[in-house]
Amino acid sequence: MSNLTQIALDDVRALSIKILKNVGYGDDHARAIAEMLYTCQLDDCQSHGLFRLLMCVQTMRDGKISGHAKPALKDSDTAVLHVDARDGMSLLAVDIAMPKLIEKTKANGIAALAVNKCFHFSALWPEVERLSAAGLAAIAMVPSHSWVAPAGGKRGSLGTNPIAFSWPRHDKNPFTFDFATSGFARGEIELYKRAGKQLPDGVALDKQGNPTTDPQAALDGAMLPFGSYKGSALSIMVELLAGPLIDDMISLESMEYAAGQAGAPYHGQIIIAFDPAHFNGGKPVENNERAERLFADIIEQGARLPSQRRFEARARNLERGFVEIPTVLYDDLHALLN
């Protein structure tokens, strides 16, 4: 028997909405969360696709999130836009702010969205790709919980702190990357644990500060940044830009706020968008060619662009009309309907 179960594409959203509403999310939040889960699962992003329904459910059970919060958009006469998620999941707040962020970026050349007071569980690439689909380049960042030791340290100070970037390309998928600044995302370690697999070396320390490849020891101990002091510094930058800069929590505070509860971290998020039309010296064609020359040079060497695996997965899953998830996860999700 296969250890994978197929789910028809239409059923991914429907199953998500049913589970989310069952546990207490209102219609608008359930729809926004389900759309993110569908988008990630369609691209075979296993750590932040349907698997994250477990975290969304846990977050509601923890009792601090509002499943009916109405995000409040606060415009200004500067290039900075704020949206207060009012203790809801981040996604509805970002949905509500996105048209205004695009409008402000096109007017000013650059604009930033600060999302405050949100619970956050999701991948960032779908959000920066909404901006590149509008012809903009964009960067997004969030802290999380202080699970990650700084390079040279032994205990968690930093979040897994992903950075996502997307660059628009004519008639092609955008250039996008999106990764945790820890060696592994927390979700990836959880998937290793569920699959009974050992981690590679260099990803985590146990509670005593010794290197470990055991996923549970890693979850109990401290994760490590990617690329030693370089990843560590990038992670600190994420803490600063998506924390104190926007009057919101650092990962240490998010962890304290959770007080041992296992749901999604609670903090802020920053998204910065750039309109090439304001920067490219009136030479869009030449500058697009320059970017394309770089991409071609990378591909010609046999290297791949980030997100290529994702785009291939999307094409395959759209063609066959279903996604596959581990049967154990499928069973865990169905148990949430009872």
Q: Cite the active site residues.
A: 47-48, 188
Per-residue string for binding with ligand NDP, 46-65, x by CB under 6 A? -xx-----------------
When the beta carbons of 150 and 187 are compared against ligand PYC, the nearer one is 187
- Select from ligand NDP, ligand PYC, none the partner in contact with residue 307, using the beta carbon and a kind-dependent cut-off of 5 to 8 Å: ligand NDP
The single residue listed with the structure tokens 């349907």 is: 50
CB 149 within 8 A of CB 155: yes
The edge-to-edge listing of strands for the beta sheet with 72-74 is 72-74, 80-84, 110-119, 266-274, 137-141, 163-167, 175-179
State how beta strands 163-167 and 175-179 pair.
antiparallel
Residue 235 lies near ligand NDP (rule: CB under 6 A): no
Out of 15, 91, 111, 142, the residue judged to bind ligand NDP by CB under 6 A = 142
The residue range among 74-82, 276-284, 299-307, 328-336 that interacts with ligand NDP, by the rule CB under 6 A, is 299-307
Cα–Cα distance list, 332 to 50, 324, 329, 338 (Å) = 11, 15, 5, 11
d(CA 22, CA 30): 10
d(CA 139, CA 269): 11
- Select from ligand NDP, ligand PYC, none the partner in contact with residue 125, using the beta carbon and a kind-dependent cut-off of 5 to 8 Å: ligand NDP
Residue 127 lies near ligand NDP (rule: CB under 6 A): no
Write the secondary structure of 218-249 as one string of H (helix), E (strand) and C (coil): HHHCEECECCHHHHHHHHHHHHHHCCHHHCCC
Out of 200, 209, 227, 306, the residue judged to bind ligand NDP by CB under 6 A = 306
When the beta carbons of 66 and 166 are compared against ligand NDP, the nearer one is 166
Out of 54, 60, 123, 134, the residue judged to bind ligand NDP by CB under 6 A = 123
When the beta carbons of 82 and 120 are compared against ligand NDP, the nearer one is 120
Residue 82 lies near ligand NDP (rule: CB under 6 A): no
Residue 160 lies near ligand NDP (rule: CB under 6 A): yes
Residue 232 lies near ligand NDP (rule: CB under 6 A): no
State how beta strands 175-179 and 4-8 pair.
unpaired
DSSP string, 66-129: -SS---EEE--SSSEEEEE-TTSBHHHHHHHHHHHHHHHHHHHSEEEEEEEEEE--S-SHHHHH
When the beta carbons of 71 and 231 are compared against ligand NDP, the nearer one is 231
Interacting residues with ligand PYC (CB under 6 A) = 47, 121, 144, 160, 180, 185-187, 265
| Region of residue 260 (left: phi > 0; alpha: psi -120 to 50; beta: else) | left
Closest-CA residue to 106 (of 281, 277, 279): 277
The residue range among 21-29, 118-126, 128-136, 166-174 that interacts with ligand NDP, by the rule CB under 6 A, is 118-126
When the beta carbons of 22 and 58 are compared against ligand PYC, the nearer one is 58
The single residue listed with the structure tokens 């401290």 is: 222
Q: Which residues lie near ligand NDP (CB under 6 A)?
A: 47-48, 120-125, 142, 144, 160, 162, 164, 177-180, 185, 187-188, 304, 306-310
